[in-house]
Structure 1
Amino acid sequence: MQPVLACADLTTGALALADTTVDSAVEDPGDATTPASCRVQLTVTHPPAGDAVTVWVHLPSTTWNGRFQAVGGGGFSGGSPESLLAPLRAGYATAATDAGHPGATADFALRPDRTLDWQRIRDFGHVGVHDMTVTAKAVVTAFYGRGPEYSYWNGCSTGGRQGLMEAQRYPDDYDGVLAGAPVINYPQMQTGQMWGQVVMLEEQNPVAPCKFAAALAATVAACDEVGDGVVDGVVGDPLGCDFDLGQLVGTRTDCGEITAADVEVMRRIGEGPRGQDGEFLWYGLAPGTPYAGLNDVVEVDGRLVGKPFQYDLWWFGLFLAQDPAWDWQTLTYAGFEAFFAQAVEMYGDVFGADDPDLSEFAEHGGRALVWHGAADFGVPFQGTVDWYERVRELSGPGRTDEFLRLFLAPGVGHCGGGGGPQPTGQFEALVAWVERGEAPRTLDAQRVDEQGTVVQTRPLCPYPEVARLTGDRDPADAGSFRCAKATELEPAPR
């Protein structure tokens, strides 16, 4: 569809949006892979807060498919214009936002006087994405003379949280939401990521990385055929894996013998955060999930010490302790439990996207396709399953299936990676569901070799089902599998 305005006209009053400035509107000629486009940057403010939400909108000059696709961020980054090239090439009008702060750090949380900057926190939590959505749709309408026929959200991790937050708070913003590895239980997840470090600190036993690796390898070997019936180095049904880590005591590794104390640390990490009285706080690492990444241990001056993930240090230091110089090594079990309660109380509403009530989104005709790697070391998939089960409890299984589907990807890490076949075509499946009513029964997944050749295909089944090999058939062929009942998550104490 052809534009009705010149790109430059978007800077001369064609838009009438309150507290919004068009910073630039530039024609990009495109190249061999990217079509010509009008690239717009805007700033949205909320007087008198003094904040600034940057919005980027890319508009195909001649190849618009009549649709809008917004793209989410990751970690503490609200998003970036670099993420817009893929949807632009596919013909979408597309947008992203920094959600109120540049870059991927968390220093936006604190003012110089160490008080919390709640407007910028709200911008990152949900306001900035809604601002972007409203602003971008207005730009699309002004440029093309009509709004998009369909609007989609596409995001993973923080982007997954942003999309489901939109569905919960602003149910009319999007017709379709694709949310991968969504950090919907944000305060619990972000605080819980420090649990492994707290355990090793309190037990005075930082476990060497190669012992963690040995424990992972033993777990996968013991549970390799659980769920899918295939020996492929992937735990097909992690919730059905019941491997006793105690069997590893005395195992020799390149970094020493695994002790009972080492196993106790691993058990606690797998179990997940608990209160001093043993009360459940949050989920831990499912069997088959790498320990490395968020439970890092390094050698300093000949001894092992913990090395927390930088995002966790920002979270505890800036959002909870409100002290940039906070020392994580002062943490105790009691201190962790207090921080956990504080995090949920202070940030559950502004960052959490775990409201099971999607009734308005469903009534609008919205569809949400959610997927999560079952070997995600950063965001335990059990939290996503717990939310999904609460949606089903509230709306009913049949009604839920009409607007929400959840798929787990065995062996896949955070937003991808890992040893399992990688999900493909999720966004296309969402579009088919929204526009043609073709609800996804399965998703496609594949493994490629170093040359990019597909060497394995596998269906991903909707929770609580798992792809199981049928008879004596080729395990590299998706057609050899059927969806069968898998182990379901036990309800978390409430």
Structure 2
Amino acid sequence: MKRMHPAYLLALSAAWLSACSTAPEAPGSRTSALPAATGAALQSCAALKDSFSYAQTRIDAATPVPAGTLKQGGSPVATHCLVKGSMHQRKGSDGRDYAIGFEMRLPEVWNGRFYYQGNGGLDGAVRPAEGALGGGPLTGALFQGFAVISSDAGHSGAQTTVFGLEPQARLDYGYQAVAKLTPMAKDLIRSAYGKGPDRSYIGGCSNGGRHAMVAASRLGDQYDGYLIGAPGYRLPNAALAQLWGAQRWSPLATPGATVKHPMNPSASIPDLGSAFTAQERQTVARAILQRCDALDGLSDGMVQATQACQAVFDVARDVPACSGVRDGSCLSPAQKTVLAQVHAGGKTTNGQTIYSAFPYDPGIAGSNWAQWKFVNAVALDPLAISTVFTAPPMPTSPLTANIDALLPAIAASNETYRESGLALMSPPGHERPDKLRALRARGARIVLYHGVSDAIFSAEDTRQWVERLDTSQGGRAADFARYFPVPGMNHCSGGPAADQFDLLSPLVRWVEEGVAPQAVTARARGAGNPGGANTELPADWAADRSRPLCAYPTVARYRGQGSTEDARNFSCQ
């Protein structure tokens, strides 16, 4: 027992952090609950390499990791076992070697729960199975005592899209790798602890959020809680909207100006950012604040009333117009037109919508917003469209691509690619998510979050999915699914936002205790933050400013007394 004492202290520390991150329970927020998980001790780490057997699975190593080898937010992660392996090794139709690579981290003192860590981007790398949570994470699933798995989703090479030319690799990336890994991981847990997980959770942000959302539709009986962050559940449409936007910004950019290619520093791409500079984006952010900041009852540099803002903000009217040369303090008529078009989501020449609209929010000033709109739109999205999302694959040049031809191509299939890009990436039935009734009926829960100023996957797209879900459930979706917009936040983190939060602990409490989350505290990451400082915070914010993230459609409003830097003085209304 003495040997395990530090781990138990860490578990208590995680529980304390969880309690601090959750605002008081709102009246009437109790629902039915599944039986709570019970923990167990790891029986043997090294023996797993030879003792564990599962179809088409190879264990390469099982190694004890001492406490403190990993740290999260400056705090040591407890002793655990690191298992590395692969599933379904094969020779692809393109002659390349493929496998679903994975690692699992199994705590010496386990809380009885399993967490599938969905990774971002195009996958292709086995990231540390930590289950990190929040913009600058102070906690994570592993830190809290979960057994955690991470995978490469069936291909290697984080910065290549060549896997998309191989049909099975496409399918593994889309959804099949999660389906293959899930039962194997649960069996490995059973071998390690002498019992399987009592409760299972899956989560991630960006493509990881998409994995979790897809799992809710395809694997509704395998997980009890789904933590869905900034889900690119219509990733092909979002990528195509990026190209459409790049083509609109390009004529406004400085002729001949270039920036370094993010994947190849020796190469360059057009400097689309010169079409809408950082100073000009700050001008637009100030205009949004002037029109919308006080809609939530307090002028504090944050727009909490997102939907109300969309109804009153108008780019043409509210942003200063240039009467002469551009000097950063105004926008030209052409800039205003393109900005409005991009926020509308883009349309083909015959008026067909390409993707969702994007909400206006002060986070437009964030550097991550510009990275996605002006750099990744040229360097990354064309590769994904041309190799992963179209059937047949269509070579795509970002600034000259035929958007009208690409839109049907992402919905097409053929003899080689039997599922379209949309079909393999999106949750089945996302247009009307009726099938989630079964998930709801057995007591599983869904928590979603999205940065309002996400530039690649629109928070409006997530909000509309939530609305469709509510309609499909007869207006009772909040009984099992709650959505938390994060004002000011860019893609998964950053921007002028309180972006450090833990939504996993409230999800567990909802699943296992029946306490539905209504307000969850988020903190800004100012100087000295142990999870890493956010350099884009306004100078007049307290370094540890906190706000409640409010379950949609409620909005954080100041109570009228107490510090405006403290979430305890706000309520979700």
TM-score after normalising by structure 1:
0.86
Please say if residues 445 and 458 of structure 1, whose CA atoms lie closer than 8 Å, have aligned partners that are also in contact.
yes
Q: Cα offset for 1:440? A: 0.5
2:235 to 186, 195, 198: 186
Find the counterpart in structure 2 of residue 310 from structure 1.
379
Aligned equivalents of 1:66 and 1:127: distance in 2?
25
Match of 1:59 among 96, 106, 109: 106
Aligned to 2:149: 95
Q: Quote how far apart the aligned CAs of 1:423 are.
A: 4.8
Equivalent residue for 2:313, pick from 243, 250, 253: 243
- Asked if 1:220 corresponds to 2:292, the answer is no
Which amino acid is the alignment partner of residue 35 of structure 1? A
Q: 2:220 aligns with which of 171, 180, 185?
A: 171
Q: 1:230 aligns with which of 298, 303, 307?
A: 298
Q: Deviations 1:97-134 (Å, cap 9, x if unpaired)?
A: 11011242242434xxxxx3110011111111222221
For 2:192 and 2:404, locate their aligned partners in 1 and report how far apart those are by CA, in whole Å. 52
Matches within 5 A, 1:97-176: 97-110=151-164, 116-176=165-225
Contact 1:407–1:461 (Cα < 8 Å) also in 2: yes
Q: Secondary structure at the match of 1:53?
A: strand
Change (3 A) 1:146 1:393: same
For 2:115, the equivalent position in structure 1 comes to 69
- Secondary structure, aligned partner of 2:156: coil
Q: Unaligned stretches of 5+ in structure 2? A: 1-39, 70-75, 132-139, 255-271, 413-419, 530-541
Instruction: Report if the CA contact (8 A) 1:44-1:53 is conserved.
Output: yes
**2:407 counterpart residue number:** 340
Are the structure 2 counterparts of residues 192 and 350 from structure 1 closer, same or farther at C-alpha, using a change threshold of 3 Å?
A: same
Q: Distance in 2 between matches of 1:227 and 1:79?
A: 43
Alpha-carbon offset, residue 444 of structure 1? 1.3
Aligned residue pairs, count:
463
Question: What runs of 5+ residues in structure 1 fail to find an aligned partner?
Answer: 111-115, 298-306, 485-494
* Larger deviation, residues 475-484 vs 174-183: 475-484
Matched, 1:277 2:326: no
Structure with the bigger RCO (C-alpha within 8 Å, sep 6+) is 2
- Counterpart pick for 2:126 among 80, 90, 104: 80
What is the alpha-carbon distance in structure 2 between the residues aligned to residue 278 and residue 211 of structure 1?
32
276 and 135 in structure 1: CA distance in 2 versus 1, 3 angstrom threshold: same
Q: CA deviation at 1:165?
A: 1.1
| Distance (whole Å) between structure 2 residues aligned to residue 448 and residue 201 of structure 1 | 34
The 3-state SS of whatever aligns with 1:317 is: helix
Opposite residue 96 of structure 1, the aligned amino acid is: S
Does the 8 Å contact 1:210/1:253 carry over to 2? no
Task: Give CA-to-partner distance per residue, 1:403-432, whole Å, 9 cap, x none.
Answer: 111111111111121112225121111111
Q: Could you report, residue by residue, the CA deviation over 1:30-72 in whole angstroms, capped at 9, with x for unpaired residues?
A: 43723332221221117675631012111123x1122112211
Q: Report the identity percentage.
A: 28
Distance 1:449 1:107, change over 3 A: closer
Aligned with 2:454 (options 350, 373, 376): 376
User: Which deviates the most, 428-437 or 222-231?
Assistant: 222-231
Is 1:7–2:45 an aligned residue pair? Answer: yes
Q: CA deviation at 1:201?
A: 3.8
Query: Take 1:263 and 1:181, find their aligned partners in 2: how far apart are those partners?
Result: 27
Equivalents in 2 of 1:109, 1:191: separation in Å? 19
Once the two structures are superposed, residues 220-279 of structure 1 have per-residue CA deviations (whole angstroms, 9 ceiling, x without a partner) of: 233342542222222223332233322432266536963212221112112221121333
- Matched residues in 2 for 1:72 and 1:270: separation? 28
* Aligned counterpart, 1:482: 571
Query: Which deviates further from its counterpart, 199-208 or 337-346?
Result: 199-208
Tell me the distance in 1 between the aligned counterparts of 2:338 and 2:183: 48
Matched residue, 2:258: none
CA separation of 1:456/1:29 partners in 2, compared to 1, >3 Å: closer, same or farther?
closer
Instruction: Write the distance in 2 (CA, Å) between the matches of 1:197 and 1:100.
Output: 31
Q: What residue in structure 2 maps to residue 492 of structure 1?
A: none
SS at match of 2:41: coil
**Pair 449,255 (structure 1): closer, same or farther in 2 beyond 3 Å:** closer
TM-score relative to the length of structure 2: 0.74
Q: For 1:323 and 1:434, how far apart are their aligned partners in 2?
A: 42
Q: 1:102 corresponds to which letter in structure 2?
A: S
Between 261-270 and 135-144, the greater mean CA deviation after superposition:
261-270
Question: 2:549 touches 2:556 (CA, 8 Å); kept in 1?
Answer: yes
RMSD (Å) for aligned C-alpha atoms: 2.7
State the distance in 1 between where 2:570 and 2:243 align. 38
Q: How does 1:324-339 map to 2 (within 5 A)?
A: 326-331=396-401, 335-339=402-406
1:281 alignment partner, SS class: coil
The amino acid that maps onto 1:330 is: T
Kindly indicate whether residue 431 of structure 2 is the aligned counterpart of residue 394 of structure 1. Answer: no
